[in-house]
A and B are shown apart, each in its own frame.
Chain A
Amino acid sequence: MSGRASGLALRLVLCLALVTAVLTACSGDDTDEPVRLRVLASPDLAVLTPLLGELKEATGVDLRLDVRSDAETKAPDRDRYDLAWLSSDRYLRLTAESAVRGLQRTATMTSPVVVGLAPDVARKLRAGVPGGRLTWADIADAAATGTVRFGMADPRHSASGLAALVGVATAAAGTGGTLRPEDVSCDRLRGFRSGQTLTAETGPALVDSYVDHQDRANALITYESDLLALNATDRLDDPLEVVRPEDGMVLADFPLLLLDPSRRAAYDEVTEWLQRDSTQQKIMQRALRRPVSTTVTREQQLREPVGNALYFPDRLTVIEALLADYGDPNRRAADQVVFLLDFSGSMRGDRMTGLREAFADLSGADSTASGKFTRFYRGERLTVLRFGGRVLEEKTVTVTGPKDLKTLADTVARGGYGDATAVWSALDHGYRTAARELAAEPDRSVSLVLMTDGENNAGLTYEEFVRHHKALPAAVRTGVPTYPVHFGEADAGELRRAAAQTGGRMVDAAHSSLSKAFKEIRGCH
């Protein structure tokens, strides 16, 4: 109360002082003082700076944009800023709920996060898809093979990067609903991510980076407006083709938030001006974003249907899991999977056919969306270890192209069956391989897949394996999970215990196929 009263007194004194000093400054109607507002702005808004002069002329409100690269991910400092103008406030609504709840909020324009593809890549991808309608799964598939090399802003710092990540993760989960914690318990974006060759902290910086490194990337995932604006310049060798993924997009609505309620009158003036058709028209022409006004005639390229909006997760744990899995785009360590495959006699026939099909599917033969997200990808390191009563063969490749995948297929296709089943000796061997690989590259993420169709009848007992496992270096013991695939006559109880012991999870292939079981595991390591 007293604060308000003294505020009033202060304002009176100030205004009276102004009256005596400059008579004309205070004339006019209600908002007579020139008002200056401090605005925390995301870099995506800098493009509108030239319009602010007109705003000042029309309303007397002077917006001072302070463009900060962390504006969209750090709770706004309400002592320093009167307003915040972001491309999206979704991240803050989840991470800083108390700081942004209940604020006056006005959407000022919209733009979806889409994919820009170099013309030759777009042509190639469209040719492989019925109707030429590309999905996020097709982009992920092409990223895994190295066909698409894309730039995307760092989702930890930029709303456009986060929107892209949510979009592709929602498509990967494939539920048609919003992402739930169980949908992100497995990281299905490894293949997609392997195609990322460029990143930046902000949208505009990403665009600049792409222009400078057109030899390193042929795709750009960002706001439609950024792609259209870039195409309108002569900075590109070839204009990018705008692809709106069929399975959906995330839309940004560039909200203007009122952080300091006492600046309400000026805020109202600003939002009224921003929503005028004449202003919306200028925003559209300058930034190539879609007007929020329904009466502005849109430019031809903004009349394309925007694509179905995906439901955006409302749980922070989901976003945190996505960001943690996605990690630092600048530091990518290759992942490694060691497949321990039972080649005892009982695997002959249909079971072996199923195993070979599973490997073919993971090598790109599976054309379903989930298959495209979980396939082997460029840079991934893969070990196939065949075992019977002992280790029959061990082969490791780093995927650089089809020839490496063929090497793997050949290894799996080779006959030579063992006459016994030494499950725990094989797993023990697998851990020694993992330990060696981790020692060579400590950042690498390594996991084991243990596929067996029978009970252990040779080599180490389960208890002996556990003793060996407990003696492993901590990084191997706690960081390398085993995913057993239960199949045929294998002992489900023991396999489940081994999974629990190593931090993995057993997957049952008894009632589905090995191919499905492998897909389920992929990304969970």
Chain B
Amino acid sequence: MSNLKEEHRPHGTAMLVWFFFASLIVYYLLSWKFLTGIWKVG
């Protein structure tokens, strides 16, 4: 795929996956935040 012309490279997809990555990290960190709201246990 490295031999693709510049205009045929997946620029849009690259942007979409970073959007996915950002949502993943936001939800991941939020979940840890929620976890600290419960009682101490373990």
- The answer to whether A binds B is no
